[in-house]
Amino acid sequence: MSDNLRRLGSSDLLVSPIGLGCLQFSRGRGISGAMWPKLDQKEINTIIETSIKTGVNWFDTAELYGWGESERALGQAIRDLNVSGDKIVIATKWWPLFRTASSISTTIDLRLSALNVDVIDLYQIHNAFSFSSIGSEMREMARLVDQGKIKYVGVSNFSAKAMRKAHKELANYGLKLVSNQINYSLLRRDIEQNGILDTAKELGISLIAYSPLGRGLLTGKFHDNPELMSKRHIFRRYYASLNKSKIEKSSHVVGVLKVIALKYQVTPSQIALNWVINAQGDTVVAVPGATKAGHAEDNAAAMKFELSQDEIAFLNEVSSSF
């Protein structure tokens, strides 16, 4: 296995510790579309091309992101850039709210055509809220594996108990749960206490950290220039807690990121991401989002060094209230 690739759970998917989150490609549609600038296909292609050139080999999207817009943008980029399917890993998610598990099978062909692929590498249940049970959802997911429409099953925003249940249900079909995608960063560390991290380690499930930059706060740019917050859409400000009190509360952590960044001659974002992908051994990989190619390049470079155990311990200490 190449040095910097990690196995996702017990699967044969090998991913770079940093992937690319594609929520930002919602292209103006839906609530997620309102949060970000409406990127055109050329800009999206450049972000994806930059990611690939700088060592990222996987992309995380969802049906929910612009109701298919993000999946379509990703599919189009792969076509435009002529990227071979076996060089990258694609993860997307089924949206469970106000639906039953039967819609997993009735909507899968839409997902495949939006992404312009024959098979989805990792198909995730977006969260645990649905009219159907986890058992029915896993039965439907297993059916898709059997049909060759998806390779592996993941979940997202599942508690330790729900994760364990999904894992057990999949075992009835000879399958294993590969991943749980959760909010994890220096500003959101509850998985270390609520059993999710321990359960993942025990069952050999990877955790995919979403919002690993604290939805932009850990870049330090909103601390350096608070005016920037007013330039973001109100939904985005709400989503990312871009407000004075959060800036104050997180300023110590961001200050420490800046000091360590100076030592490595990197950016605070890279220190924040390096902590996410190294503080828990190989269990956690991350999918930062980007609205500019420069973000993607900066974030991928977080894979080029490794914080010392002392630095990780210090970051744990200064972020312990989160």
Ligand X SMILES: NC(=O)c1ccc[n+]([C@@H]2O[C@H](COP(=O)([O-])OP(=O)(O)OC[C@H]3O[C@@H](n4cnc5c(N)ncnc54)[C@H](OP(=O)(O)O)[C@@H]3O)[C@@H](O)[C@H]2O)c1
Q: Does 288 bind ligand X (CB under 6 A)?
A: yes
End-to-end Cα separation, the chain, in angstroms? 35
In the bound state with ligand X, the residue whose beta carbon lies nearer, of 57 and 181, is 181
Per DSSP, which regions of 240-317 are E strands? 284-286
In the bound state with ligand X, the residue whose beta carbon lies nearer, of 149 and 210, is 210
Q: Does 157 bind ligand X (CB under 6 A)?
A: yes
In the bound state with ligand X, the residue whose beta carbon lies nearer, of 130 and 156, is 156
- Binding range to ligand X, per CB under 6 A, among 16-24, 73-81, 250-258, 303-311: 16-24
Residue 107 CA, chain-centre distance (Å), reads: 22
Window 44 to 103, contacts with ligand X (CB under 6 A): 60
Closest distance between ligand X and the C-beta of residue 237, in Å?
Answer: 10
Closest distance between ligand X and the C-beta of residue 122, in Å?
Answer: 12
What three-state secondary structure class fits 1? coil
- Binding range to ligand X, per CB under 6 A, among 82-90, 108-116, 208-216, 306-314: 208-216
Least Cα distance to 103 among 125, 71, 74 occurs for: 125
> CA 203, CA 177: separation in Å to the nearest integer?
9
Q: Which of 10, 107, 243, 291 binds ligand X (CB under 6 A)?
A: 291
# of chain residues touching ligand X (CB under 6 A): 27
Q: Does 6 bind ligand X (CB under 6 A)?
A: no
> CA 50, CA 269: separation in Å to the nearest integer?
17
Q: Which of 6, 9, 13, 24 binds ligand X (CB under 6 A)?
A: 24
> CA 227, CA 230: separation in Å to the nearest integer?
6
The residue number with the shortest CB distance to ligand X is 21
Q: Which of 33, 66, 68, 289 binds ligand X (CB under 6 A)?
A: 289
| 264 is annotated as an active-site residue | no
- Burial (0-12, 13-18, 19+ Cβ within 10 Å), 292: middle
Q: Which of 11, 299, 303, 319 binds ligand X (CB under 6 A)?
A: 299
Q: Which of 13, 15, 18, 22 binds ligand X (CB under 6 A)?
A: 22
The DSSP letter of residue 140 is H
Window 218 to 237, contacts with ligand X (CB under 6 A): 219, 221, 232
Least Cα distance to 27 among 39, 45, 15 occurs for: 39
Q: Which of 295, 300, 303, 311 binds ligand X (CB under 6 A)?
A: 295
In the bound state with ligand X, the residue whose beta carbon lies nearer, of 51 and 211, is 211
Catalytic residue numbers, as ranges: 65
Judged by the rule CB under 6 A, the positions of this chain that interact with ligand X are: 21-24, 60, 156-157, 181, 210-216, 219, 221, 232, 269, 287-291, 295, 298-299
